[in-house]
Amino acid sequence: MHRTRIKICGLTREEDVAAAVAAGADAIGFVFYPKSPRYVTPQRAAELIATLPPFVTAVGLFVNVPAEEVAAIVRVAPVALLQFHGDETAEQCAAAAAAANRPFLRVFRVKPTTTGTELLEYEAQSRASSRPHAAQFAGLLFDTYVDAYGGAGKVFDWSLIPEELAHRAVLSGGLSVQNATGAVAQVRPWAVDVSSGVEAAKGIKDAGLIAQFIAAVRAGDATPGNGA
């Protein structure tokens, strides 16, 4: 049975990091987008990263940040994986990842008109652009298209994701305790990413919701069907 990996994003407090780790999260996300209510400075992120045990991955979320600035942030806050969530081209993502010497995820903000062919082409373009920079493209993260950056807590039509792509992608966008089981059972993604779905307030996580969300993902893993 596939075990879906789980990232809890937008953490700002030690107690929330501890709660996510205790509940079994595989990755923790830090938002380096100053306009986000979940923004943390590189110095603050470094303090939180220092509390992580082995084998829990620290991820940095960036929005339209120049390559040199990404590298400078990573020197202060040693995240292991970069997540590009803005309008960066594949070339810009690869250049920033190479400058920071980190692998990267690239977001695709899914619209109602998005096609599976578009998603496959976007993945191929991202992979091809990484090679000249010797950058490691780790995969795509699917979020819902809204006129904003960094995620909006809204669900998109999961059936738009091609089956041959889902198993190596990260599913995001409006995930919650209520829909995580169904999302995992239907899509069978490599990983899921949640932020607002486990919050008491913006940037303040709820330990109970984190534990319930992870339990809901595990229930999806255990649901008979495609990939189980």
Is 38 in contact with 200 (CB distance < 8 Å)? no
| Counted domains in the chain | 1
We report the CATH number of the domain holding residue 161 as 3.20.20.70
**Type and span of the H or E element at 171:** strand 170-171
Is 174 in contact with 153 (CB distance < 8 Å)? yes
Residue 29 lies in a domain: yes
Which pLDDT belongs to residue 101? 97
Which pLDDT belongs to residue 226? 47
In which domain, by residue range, is 159 found? 5-222
Q: Which residues of the chain have pLDDT under 50?
A: 226-228
User: What are 59's two structure tokens?
Assistant: 């991820």
Which pLDDT belongs to residue 178? 97
Residue 47 lies in a domain: yes
Which pLDDT belongs to residue 152? 61
Which residues, including other chains, have CB under 8 Å from residue 175's CB and lie 6 or more apart? Answer: 155, 183, 192, 193, 194, 197, 213
Q: Which residues pair with 58 in a beta bridge?
A: 28
The catalytic residue among 26, 143, 147, 193 is 143
Per the annotation, the verdict on 9 as an active-site residue is: yes
Distance CA 25, CA 209 (A): 12
Which pLDDT belongs to residue 165? 96
Which residues, including other chains, have CB under 8 Å from residue 66's CB and lie 6 or more apart? Answer: 96
The catalytic residue among 9, 16, 93, 193 is 9
Residue 228 lies in a domain: no
For 27, phi and psi rounded to 5 degrees?
-150, 155
Which pLDDT belongs to residue 133? 86
Which residues, including other chains, have CB under 8 Å from residue 41's CB and lie 6 or more apart? Answer: none
Distance CA 9, CA 173 (A): 12
Residue 167 lies in a domain: yes
Per the annotation, the verdict on 93 as an active-site residue is: no
Which pLDDT belongs to residue 157? 93
Residue 140 lies in a domain: yes
Residue 227 lies in a domain: no
Residue 160 lies in a domain: yes
Residue 171 lies in a domain: yes
Distance CA 173, CA 152 (A): 7
pTM comes to 0.94
